Structure 1
Amino acid sequence: MEVSCAFPTTLHSPDDIALAERLGYDRAWVYDTPQQSPDVWMTLALAAERTERIGLGPGVLIPSLRHPMVNAAATATLAALAPGRTAVAFGTGFTGRRAMGYRAIPWSFMASYLRAYRGLLRGEVVEWEGARMQMLHPDGHAPARPVDVPVLVGALGPKGDAVARELGDGLFVTLQMPDFAPEHRWVPYLAWGTVLDEGEAADSEHARLAAGPGWALAYHGAYEFGGADAVRDLPAGDAWMDAVEKAPPEERHLAVHDRHCVALNDADQAAWDAGGHQMLRDATLSGTTDELRRRLDELGEQGVTEIVFQPCGPDTERELERFLETARR
């Protein structure tokens, strides 16, 4: 199993990626979340200049945020800056859309978008929004077409699986493992958590800072996919919902996604304090070294070929070091 890392795109992500390369990580993914992050492509370009070996890619791009020509040109640029190291993943938009009040894009749109995007990279004339277009970059403006980079698709259900099989080179997974994952040859699994010391409590300050943002995804995901009732079924779900419902309904998504994957927001902190931390081990890759080794073995049996770890908290280097040491034991 490859061991990679991910970062919620920040101004210091290029330096974090350079650190991950020095430590020995195989690949670094960064998020396409413009409502809380700097531009993902600018960040990857800076990372390409500061690294030599580590794989680079956006994980995941949200098609509705950019015209397929824009993402094709950006992909070609990164492939030129980091030849042989570039991969691209696409998703329908969890935080990248829902944090702005939109629902996820339909899979029919994803399929049409990927056909146009991949056709552009091959140098073909494609049709998009009723117009015919082609990458016309002269020499020195982009690599010669075709630009060959692997494309992964973030999917959890049968419609996404069908798109991934037809138009992708693998499956990018988070939140839960779909049954069809072993049928794909490349399956990165994005996870959060932390290595706990022997005897360390799940509600320690270290656990809250380093694994709390990943733990909070259980509430964020339950709310977006199942609504308030699904959240209230979770430990301390009432406390989480009570905090979220202080916001007016038309702005409630702002309260849900505030500090998403970065730190605990007000609702997350309320749930943590009310005892929600008890599901830390179930909701994240958190535990002692031996516990995490067993979890990683289980993920491998479920079809994961690449574990993607996002560090959180004030000590990124320590979190990256300890997780890599555990994963490679």
Structure 2
Amino acid sequence: MEVSCAFPTALDSPDNIALAEQLGYTRAWVYDTPQQSPDVWMTLALAAERTERIGLGPGVLVPTLRHPMVNAAATATLAALAPGRVAVSFGTGFTGRRAMGYRAIPWSFMESYVRTYKALLRGEVVEWEGAQMQMLHPDGHAPARPVDVPVLIGALGPKGHEVARELGDGLYVTLQLPEFLGEYSWVPYLVWGTVLDEGEPVDSEHARVAAGPGWALAYHGAYEFGGPPAVRELPGGAEWMDVVDRTPEHRRHLAVHTGHCVELGEADRAAWQAGGHVMLRNVTFSGTRDELKRRLADVAARGVTEIVFQPCGPDVRTELERFLEVANT
């Protein structure tokens, strides 16, 4: 199983990707979350200039954020800057859309978008929004078509599985492992968490800053997919909802996703302090070295081919080093 990393696209992500290359990580994925992050393509371009070996790619792109021609041109640019190192993953938009108040995009749109995007990279004439178009980049403006870049699809359910099976070169997964992942030869699995020392409590300050942002996704996801009742079933869920409910309904998504994958928002802190931290091992990839070794073996046996670790907290180097040490032993 390959060991890769992910970053929630910050201004220091290019330097952190260079660090990950030095440490030995296989690939670096960065998020397409414009409501809280610098531009994903600018970040990847800077990372390409500072690295030589590590794979690079957006994980995941949200189609409605950009015209397919824009993503095709950006992909071609990155492929020129980092030849042979680029992969692209698409998803329906958990944070990239829901944090701006939108729902996830339908899979029918995803299928049409990815099909068009891939045809553009092949140099074909396509139709989008009623207009005929083609990548017209002359020499020196993009690599010659076709631009061969692997495309992965982030999917958990049967509709996404159909699109991934038809159009994808792999399956990009997070939050949970679908039953069908064994049908794919390339399966990156995005996880959050931290390596705990023997005897370290799950409510330690280190656990809170390094694994807390991943832990908070349990509340964000429960709210988005199950609503307030689902949140209140979680430890600390009532306290989490008390904070969120103070925000007017039309702006509530802002309170839900503040700090998403980076730090704990006000509602997350309330849940943590109310005892929600007891879920840390269950909802993140957190545990002692031996515990994580067993979990890594388990997900590999289930079909994961690439574990993707997102470090959190102020000491990115140490988090990357400790996780890689566990994964490589």
Shorter-chain TM-score range: over 0.9
Aligned-pair distance for 1:236?
1.1
- Unaligned 5+ residue runs, structure 1? none
Could you give the per-residue CA deviations for residues 136-164 of structure 1, whole angstroms, max 9, x where no partner exists?
Answer: 00011000000000000000000000000
> Which amino acid counterpart does residue 315 of structure 1 have in structure 2?
D
Task: Determine if the alignment matches structure 1 residue 173 to structure 2 residue 202.
Answer: no
Provide the rounded CA distance (Å) in 2 between the counterparts of 1:176 and 1:256: 20
Aligned-pair distance for 1:322?
0.1
- Residue-pair matches, total: 329
Provide the rounded CA distance (Å) in 2 between the counterparts of 1:44 and 1:82: 10
Mapping of residues 217-228 of structure 1, within 5 Å = 217-228=217-228
Which 4+ residue blocks in structure 1 deviate beyond 6 angstroms?
none
What's the counterpart of residue 66 of structure 2?
66
Aligned-pair distance for 1:37?
0.3
What's the counterpart of residue 94 of structure 2?
94
Provide the rounded CA distance (Å) in 2 between the counterparts of 1:83 and 1:98: 33
Task: Determine if the alignment matches structure 1 residue 238 to structure 2 residue 238.
Answer: yes
SS of the residue 2:179 aligns to? coil
Q: Aligned residues: percent identity?
A: 80
What's the counterpart of residue 283 of structure 1?
283
Could you give the per-residue CA deviations for residues 154-191 of structure 1, whole angstroms, max 9, x where no partner exists?
Answer: 00000000000011101000000000011111000000
What's the counterpart of residue 321 of structure 2?
321
Aligned-pair distance for 1:70?
0.2
Could you give the per-residue CA deviations for residues 194-246 of structure 1, whole angstroms, max 9, x where no partner exists?
Answer: 00000000000000000000000000001001101111111111111111111
- Unaligned 5+ residue runs, structure 2? none
Could you give the per-residue CA deviations for residues 76-125 of structure 1, whole angstroms, max 9, x where no partner exists?
Answer: 00000000000000000000000000000000000000110000000000
What's the counterpart of residue 184 of structure 1?
184
Provide the rounded CA distance (Å) in 1 between the counterparts of 2:182 and 2:297: 14
SS of the residue 2:56 aligns to? strand
Mapping of residues 43-192 of structure 1, within 5 Å = 43-192=43-192
Aligned-pair distance for 1:26?
0.2
> Which amino acid counterpart does residue 221 of structure 2 have in structure 1?
G
Could you give the per-residue CA deviations for residues 11-58 of structure 1, whole angstroms, max 9, x where no partner exists?
Answer: 100000000000000000000000000000000000000000000000
TM-score (norm 2): 1.00
> Which amino acid counterpart does residue 56 of structure 2 have in structure 1?
L
Provide the rounded CA distance (Å) in 1 between the counterparts of 2:298 and 2:223: 27
Task: Determine if the alignment matches structure 1 residue 262 to structure 2 residue 249.
Answer: no
What's the counterpart of residue 213 of structure 2?
213
> Which amino acid counterpart does residue 25 of structure 1 have in structure 2?
Y
Provide the rounded CA distance (Å) in 1 between the counterparts of 2:298 and 2:240: 30
> Which amino acid counterpart does residue 240 of structure 1 have in structure 2?
W
What's the counterpart of residue 39 of structure 2?
39
Could you give the per-residue CA deviations for residues 261-288 of structure 1, whole angstroms, max 9, x where no partner exists?
Answer: 0000000000000000001000001000
What's the counterpart of residue 253 of structure 2?
253
Provide the rounded CA distance (Å) in 2 between the counterparts of 1:81 and 1:236: 46
Mapping of residues 288-303 of structure 1, within 5 Å = 288-303=288-303
Provide the rounded CA distance (Å) in 1 between the counterparts of 2:309 and 2:322: 11
Provide the rounded CA distance (Å) in 1 between the counterparts of 2:231 and 2:154: 23
TM-score (norm 1): 1.00
C-alpha RMSD of the superposition: 0.4
Provide the rounded CA distance (Å) in 2 between the counterparts of 1:259 and 1:235: 20
What's the counterpart of residue 307 of structure 1?
307
Aligned-pair distance for 1:303?
1.2
Provide the rounded CA distance (Å) in 2 between the counterparts of 1:176 and 1:243: 27
SS of the residue 1:6 aligns to? strand
> Which amino acid counterpart does residue 113 of structure 2 have in structure 1?
Y
SS of the residue 1:194 aligns to? coil
Could you give the per-residue CA deviations for residues 294-322 of structure 1, whole angstroms, max 9, x where no partner exists?
Answer: 01111111211000000000100000000
Aligned-pair distance for 1:252?
0.4
